[in-house]
Amino acid sequence: MKKIDEYQGKKVLVMGFGISGINAAHLLVKLGANVTANDKATPKNNDIVEDLEADGIKVITGDNPISLANKGFDVVVKNPGIPYDNPLVAAFVKQGTPIITEAELGWQIFDGHLVSVTGSNGKTTTTTLTQLMIAENAKHQVKYAGNIGISFSKIAEDLGPDDTLVTELSSFQLLGAPTIHPHIAIITNIFSNHLDYHKTRENYINAKLNITRNQTKDDFLVINWDRDEWQKIAQRSQATIVPFSRLNKSHEGSYVEDGMIYWRGQEVMPTKDIRLIGPQNVENALAAIAAAKLSGVTNDAIKKVLTTFSGVRHRLQYVMEYQERLFYNDSKSTDIEATEVALQGFDRPVILLAGGLDRGYTFERLVPYFKKHVKAMIVFGECKDKMKDAGNQAGVPVIESENAITAVPEAWKLSEPGDVILLSPANASWDQFPSFEVRGDKFIEAVEELTGKKEQ
């Protein structure tokens, strides 16, 4: 951990009691700050409040009182999910109070080698693969943190100058990370996500580009080269560009040709040997390979990871096989693009479980994928009627169910040996579940109850 005095004697407000907020509050006390912690909700577990207060932190819960804007705070550390049009946040913006996220705080105290990953889809898998590959050859610690569910600042506290940290960073985190400077940055792809938060696609892209904003020609931006738009976005970086591509050959980076993965013209391994299924996971592997090779990782280490790693939970996760049916949990597919790529990963008939929060869009884009890959559909949630319309357009049998749990036995009744039963909702979970993780866990529990087996 790097010793800094930036917060010594400063008044800091931490907004949000998530994992990152709680860790940030305790860290700021160590850094000499006078800390107030605020959460709009009242925690059900009072241990959280007691633990904060025991560290000398003033705690305010049950509201984001606008009066806090007049208390002379020098800095606000905001939970990434709190929007900037929140009245209290907006008041701080208006008066010019610096607002950062915990990722920025983590960067400020980190003293090692930073690799950072962002993108619309594939962030967690790419982050995990990159960390595993670099760790295979490392003589020092290699950890991961960030949007992957582990506090950046908490891990950064325990790492030294020879250690490596691979961080997954969301657009929300990056908006509040003005000085972050990874040596290797990865952009997996950019679609049109979170426009309810960012308002415009350009705002969303700009937030993503904060990952490379402070890079120089001595740093590297690893970026997907499969769309013209992403190639143009790369031109906005000052870093050395390292492309990865499943569709376009480029000797400057990692790519696929005739079923073989190459790094700068040298063979690495066949794509068929990657244990993860689907074209999106070939792309994730290519991104991780580029970062790993830039970090000095051997081909043998890369092969070991890619031939054994079976997936991140909720991200096209293999659950089990039962009576010749394969169950997959892809609850993280909260948008249309993610479900598109999930369906392309299977050459078996798919019984698709889909639906969720209605964000106002329809699903005609999925019709060609339904026609090609889907045998039957079970739909649920607020947007089940729109999902059903797309299934009808594709000529696919559609059954309505209450949720992703009740859909499991319905899917089983429709299945035959050789089928895939896939939860890939194409929608957020918030109409019925607090998170995609909970939705995925409940799906797995339903599969276990149906089969009498534990996930593999």
Half-sphere exposure of 297 (CA within 13 A, CB side): 28
Q: Give the separation between CA 353 and CA 444, rounded to whole angstroms.
A: 13
Which distant-in-sequence residues (6+ apart) come within 8 Å of 206 by Cβ? none
DSSP-assigned beta bridge partners for residue 36: 13, 58
- Tokens at residue 174, please? 């990056």
CB 10 within 8 A of CB 34: yes
**79 annotated among ligand-binding-site residues:** no
Q: Give the separation between CA 349 and CA 203, rounded to whole angstroms.
A: 39
Q: Give the separation between CA 189 and CA 340, rounded to whole angstroms.
A: 14
**61 annotated among ligand-binding-site residues:** no
Which distant-in-sequence residues (6+ apart) come within 8 Å of 241 by Cβ? 220, 221, 223, 234, 252
Q: Which of 199, 178, 209, 172 minimizes the C-alpha distance to 20?
A: 172
C-beta neighbour count of 251 within 10 angstroms: 11
Q: Give the separation between CA 320 and CA 327, rounded to whole angstroms.
A: 5
Q: Give the separation between CA 328 and CA 161, rounded to whole angstroms.
A: 40
**192 annotated among ligand-binding-site residues:** no
**121 annotated among ligand-binding-site residues:** yes
Half-sphere exposure of 300 (CA within 13 A, CB side): 1
Largest CA distance in the chain: 66
Q: In a 3-state reduction of DSSP, which class is residue 370?
A: helix
**Helical residues (DSSP H) of 55-117, grouped into ranges:** 87-95, 102-109
Q: Which of 118, 70, 74 minimizes the C-alpha distance to 100?
A: 74
Q: In a 3-state reduction of DSSP, which class is residue 172?
A: helix
**122 annotated among ligand-binding-site residues:** yes
Residues of each annotated binding site:
119-125
Annotated binding residues for ATP, as ranges?
119-125
